[in-house]
């Protein structure tokens, strides 16, 4: 018998009270109890945690039925992530747990299982302080599996795949982690190649190999089988990509011999009304949207992501910058660093090193005492240990722009570690020569300089360290600093520094999508300075980046509207208040500023058929066309031209009163997978179908058929309306809901209702 993996995502019960029978209520996994906690403006660490009163101890339980306990077999429970401080009991016996909430852990429960029903009980202690600097959620929020294995089995954490290219041949070397006979089969739709070894190493050549890259993310299926004589004891499958990544000093990053810039977005792991309990299908939708605008990389800041995210990145061709933790001896990880750093670092690398999408490892972010002797010592220790686990990728550390003179501070007394790291004080180093010297100290122990918000110093850094490439591991979306001032509000978009310098391999915006926590102040419940809202709605600046990153011809217009509410974005991470509408009833011929984003050579602009001259994008700073239009209700029409030929068009129309609700699509088909979740958005439109941006009506959702409503979200982080409901007010003309399928076939009808408007309806055909 080969391995049997069973996902344990249904059948769980949960309580925040004492773990007595009458207190438990049914829940689905993944589960985040904190997302439905009450809003508490005065709670401890409310800014970091989005004012959701998450503190407490939660209990989960589930029955596992075992028909036969087989001799010579082992049984394991595997948790991809539990936040946080978990303890697991099987039939009343403590079998282990995990401290750090982002690390996968596996428990051998063979000795504690018996035939028949077995009770799994999990305690999650979410009371330790300080909390993360961002919303962390609480509970069993990732995948749980029961593994049944032969006593002699393959261990995925010991398997390592390395690839190289010789001409048109791909070389795949597999370290199996076993001294027994292991056979490998590598296949795709056109080839099937086998190899074997009993010395722990298998080498296979793939002729006419299809390479993996962001533009062509080809994957091969690998099946490893462990043998004893003629019997297969265990089989393990994974997907690999054959690719070579090379960092050339002064020249940039090359994938399979071709130069490539990182067009990246930093992301956290929550998804609005789901908290951190985000199934893979929700993440797939987000990542597909990122890819469509030209993004080719993400940074999973600042910890290991769910395993499924990396699987999707492999498929889509999204490069990944992965790191195991944020701070070291300060912040929330300080309670674990001394005893757990080695285990958590190894967990990340061993779990994820076979993913072709991982192009660089990070070992920390904006840590305490940056550039000082104590910090350098830890950096050196982390890198050296990581290289014992994987020597195929560069190793880096994300530097904060703040460097300080040496000082001895008791970090256990520092309540806000980011404020301590960022604060401007009499210990701050302002002299650029001294700043560069601190960076040089770090450069000795990293392969690529990962710079957070330091574009203004790239030339000076390169001049001092020409052998080091630079990656903008965090960048502002619109404003760039000045060499003599870290923050400056000139309209120099940081991405242009990436384009300008060969030695800069890319930039990663902070952030791709709004997230919960790290609030700048109540009523904001999260971070709003991103390209997308929490319900996946695009913001105007996302189109500017599409014009930089995408080769597909596009043109887009937004207008300035400072009547919109303050979303609580941090000033230097903010952007001018552009909006996608042409409704200004308060104006009469008033001139309104606009921006046009386009990757075309020329753009034309018309208002109600009258053409207004605009310069080419290349003639404008940032290639973003700016100007003014007098307000006349009607239609703005843009056209984009390449070599004199019209390639694309965009229109913005004045909307009339909202008369009906409309989903983005009317009918779709889905596979009848149990617990499958998807987000759907409904908009207010006028009689001609034009979206009504300013509509804020209360919308109530209802669903019939084999599905249920999970939550609602409108993208407004300043709202205090609850997510676990069937209604919410529109924000900027739309509101979204997440529904979950029950696994049965049938016809699902999702309806949306608002007073004074015709209802919206979406029909979902659910088939096996």
Let me know: does 632 contact 589? Beta carbons within 8 Å.
yes
Residues 76 and 108 in one domain: yes
Examine the fold and report which residue of 179, 206, 240 is the final residue of a domain before the chain moves on. Answer: 240
SS3 per residue for 735-750: EEEEEEECCCCEEEEE
Residues 84 and 162 in one domain: no
pTM of the predicted structure, to 2 decimals: 0.96
Q: How far is CA 461 from the centre of its chain?
A: 29
The single residue listed with the structure tokens 């520092």 is: 414
**Residue 390 domain-assigned?**
yes
Let me know: does 211 contact 218? Beta carbons within 8 Å.
yes
> Which element (helix H / strand E) includes 373?
helix 373-389
d(CA 614, CA 603): 7
Phi, psi for 496 (deg, rounded to 5)? -65, -25
3-state secondary structure of 390: coil
Residues 504 and 571 in one domain: no
pLDDT of residue 452: 97
Residue 737 CA: distances (Å) to CA of 74, 180, 680, 702, 710: 42, 52, 6, 10, 7
Check which CATH number belongs to the domain holding 310 and give it: 3.20.20.80
Let me know: does 297 contact 264? Beta carbons within 8 Å.
yes
Residue 212 CA: distances (Å) to CA of 237, 240, 391: 18, 9, 19
Residues 440 and 481 in one domain: yes
Tokens of 112: 């504690």
Residue 145 CA: distances (Å) to CA of 70, 104, 363: 18, 11, 28
**Residue 547 domain-assigned?**
no
CB atoms inside a 10 Å sphere around CB 500: 11
Q: What is the dihedral of CA 368, 364, 569, 699, to 10 degrees?
A: -140
pLDDT of residue 421: 73
Let me know: does 264 contact 296? Beta carbons within 8 Å.
yes
Would you say the C-alpha torsion 588, 592, 597, 601 has a positive or negative sign? Answer: positive
Residues 112 and 165 in one domain: no
**Residue 260 domain-assigned?**
no
Let me know: does 106 contact 65? Beta carbons within 8 Å.
no
Do you find a cis peptide bond into 727, omega within 30 degrees of 0? Answer: no
Let me know: does 150 contact 1? Beta carbons within 8 Å.
yes
pLDDT in tens, 409-445: 766 667 777 777 766 667 889 899 999 999 999 999 9
Residues 229 and 355 in one domain: no
Residues 279 and 389 in one domain: yes
**Residue 759 domain-assigned?**
yes
**Residue 247 domain-assigned?**
no
Residues in the chain, pLDDT under 50: none
d(CA 5, CA 146): 6
Check which CATH number belongs to the domain holding 606 and give it: 2.60.40.10
Which residues lie across from 260 on neighbouring strands? 253
**Residue 364 domain-assigned?**
yes
Residues 311 and 414 in one domain: yes
Residues 349 and 389 in one domain: yes
Residues 498 and 614 in one domain: no
**Residue 543 domain-assigned?**
no
Phi, psi for 543 (deg, rounded to 5)? -75, -30
d(CA 710, CA 736): 11
Number of domains in the chain: 5
Tokens of 653: 């129309």
Residues 705 and 612 in one domain: no
Q: Are strands 144-150 and 182-187 parallel, antiparallel or unpaired?
A: unpaired
SS3 per residue for 470-527: EEEEEECCCCEEECCEEEEEECCCCHHHHHHCCCEEEEEECCCECEECCCCCCCCCEE
Examine the fold and report which residue of 619, 653, 687 is the final residue of a domain before the chain moves on. Answer: 653
d(CA 76, CA 153): 12
Q: At what angle do helices 280-292 and 307-316 cross, to 10 degrees?
A: 40
- Pick from 435, 445, 320, 433: which is nearest to 379 by CA? 445
The residue length of the chain stands at 768
pLDDT of residue 400: 94
Examine the fold and report which residue of 150, 181, 207 is the final residue of a domain before the chain moves on. Answer: 150
**Residue 232 domain-assigned?**
yes
3-state secondary structure of 627: strand
Do you find a cis peptide bond into 302, omega within 30 degrees of 0? Answer: yes
Do you find a cis peptide bond into 479, omega within 30 degrees of 0? Answer: no
Residue 383 CA: distances (Å) to CA of 202, 339, 377, 378, 391: 27, 17, 10, 9, 10
CA geometry: angle 460, 373, 321, nearest 5 deg: 60
Domain of 524?
Answer: 266-538
pLDDT of residue 418: 76
pLDDT of residue 627: 96
Residues 224 and 313 in one domain: no
Let me know: does 613 contact 565? Beta carbons within 8 Å.
no
């Amino acid at each position: 018998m080969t391995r049997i993996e069973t996902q344990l995502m249904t059948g769980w019960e949960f309580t925040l009270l004492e773990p007595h029978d009458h207190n438990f209520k049914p829940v689905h996994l993944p589960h985040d109890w904190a997302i439905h906690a009450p809003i508490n403006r005065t709670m401890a660490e409310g800014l970091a945690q989005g004012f959701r009163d998450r503190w407490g101890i939660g209990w989960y339980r589930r029955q596992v039925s075992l028909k036969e306990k087989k001799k010579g077999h082992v049984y394991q429970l595997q948790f991809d992530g539990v936040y946080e401080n978990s303890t697991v009991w099987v039939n009343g016996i403590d079998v282990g747990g995990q401290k750090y909430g982002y690390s996968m852990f596996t428990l051998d429960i063979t000795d504690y299982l018996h035939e028949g029903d077995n009770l799994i009980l999990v305690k999650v202690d979410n009371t330790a302080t300080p909390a993360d600097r961002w919303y962390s959620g609480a509970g069993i929020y990732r995948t749980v599996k029961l593994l049944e294995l032969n006593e002699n089995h393959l261990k995925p954490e010991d398997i390592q795949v390395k690839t190289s290219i010789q001409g048109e041949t791909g070389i795949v070397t597999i370290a199996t982690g076993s001294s027994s006979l292991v056979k490998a089969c590598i296949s795709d739709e056109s080839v099937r190649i086998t190899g074997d070894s009993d010395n722990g190493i298998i080498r296979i050549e793939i002729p006419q190999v299809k390479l993996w890259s962001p533009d062509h993310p080809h994957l091969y299926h690998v099946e490893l089988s462990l043998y004893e004589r003629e019997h297969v004891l265990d089989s393990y499958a994974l997907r690999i990509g054959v690719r070579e990544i090379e960092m050339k000093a002064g020249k940039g990053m090359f994938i399979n011999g071709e130069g490539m810039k990182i067009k990246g977005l930093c992301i956290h792991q929550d998804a609005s009304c789901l908290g951190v309990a985000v199934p893979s299908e929700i993440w797939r939708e987000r990542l597909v949207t990122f890819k469509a605008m030209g993004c080719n990389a993400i940074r999973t800041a600042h910890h290991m992501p769910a395993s499924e995210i990396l699987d999707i990145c492999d498929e889509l061709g999204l490069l990944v910058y992965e790191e195991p933790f944020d701070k070291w001896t300060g912040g929330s990880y300080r309670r674990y660093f001394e005893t757990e750093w080695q285990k958590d670092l190894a967990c990340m690398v061993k779990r994820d090193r076979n993913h072709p999408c991982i192009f660089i490892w990070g070992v920390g972010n904006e840590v305490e005492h940056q550039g000082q002797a104590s910090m350098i010592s830890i950096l050196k220790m982390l890198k050296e240990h990581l290289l014992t686990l994987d020597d195929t990728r560069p190793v880096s550390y994300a530097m904060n722009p703040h460097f300080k003179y040496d000082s001895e501070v008791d970090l256990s007394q520092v309540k806000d570690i980011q404020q301590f790291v960022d604060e401007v004080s009499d210990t701050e180093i302002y002299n650029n020569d001294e700043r560069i010297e601190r960076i040089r100290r770090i450069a000795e122990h990293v392969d690529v300089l990962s710079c957070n918000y330091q574009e203004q110093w790239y030339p000076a850094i390169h001049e001092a360290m020409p052998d080091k490439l630079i990656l903008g591991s965090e960048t502002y979306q619109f404003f760039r600093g000045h060499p003599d001032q870290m923050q400056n509000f000139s309209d120099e978009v940081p991405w242009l520094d990436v384009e300008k310098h060969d030695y800069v391999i890319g930039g990663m915006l902070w952030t791709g999508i709004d997230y919960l926590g790290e609030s700048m102040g109540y009523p904001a419940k999260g971070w709003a300075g991103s390209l997308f809202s929490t319900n996946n709605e695009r913001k105007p600046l996302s189109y500017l980046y599409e014009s930089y990153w995408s080769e597909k011809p596009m043109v887009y217009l937004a207008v300035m509207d400072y009547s919109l509410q303050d979303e609580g974005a941090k000033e230097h991470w903010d952007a001018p208040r552009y909006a996608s509408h042409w409704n200004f009833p308060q104006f009469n011929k008033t001139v309104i500023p606009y921006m046009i984003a386009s990757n075309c050579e020329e753009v034309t602009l018309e208002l109600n058929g009258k053409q207004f001259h605009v310069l080419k994008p290349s003639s404008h700073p940032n290639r973003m066309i700016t100007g003014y239009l007098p307000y006349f209700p009607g239609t703005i029409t843009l056209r984009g031209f390449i070599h004199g030929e019209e390639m694309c068009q965009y229109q913005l129309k004045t909307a009339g009163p909202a008369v009906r609700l409309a989903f983005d699509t009317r009918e779709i088909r889905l596979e009848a997978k149990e617990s499958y979740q998807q987000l759907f958005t409904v908009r207010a439109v006028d009689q001609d179908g034009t979206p009504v941006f300013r509509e804020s009506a209360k919308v109530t959702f209802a669903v019939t058929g084999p599905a249920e409503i999970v939550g609602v979200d409108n993208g407004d982080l300043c709202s205090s309306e609850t997510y676990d409901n069937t209604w919410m007010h529109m924000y900027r003309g739309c509101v979204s809901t997440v529904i979950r399928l029950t696994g049965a076939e049938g016809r699902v009808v999702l309806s949306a209702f608002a007073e004074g408007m015709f209802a919206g309806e979406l029909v979902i055909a659910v088939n096996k």
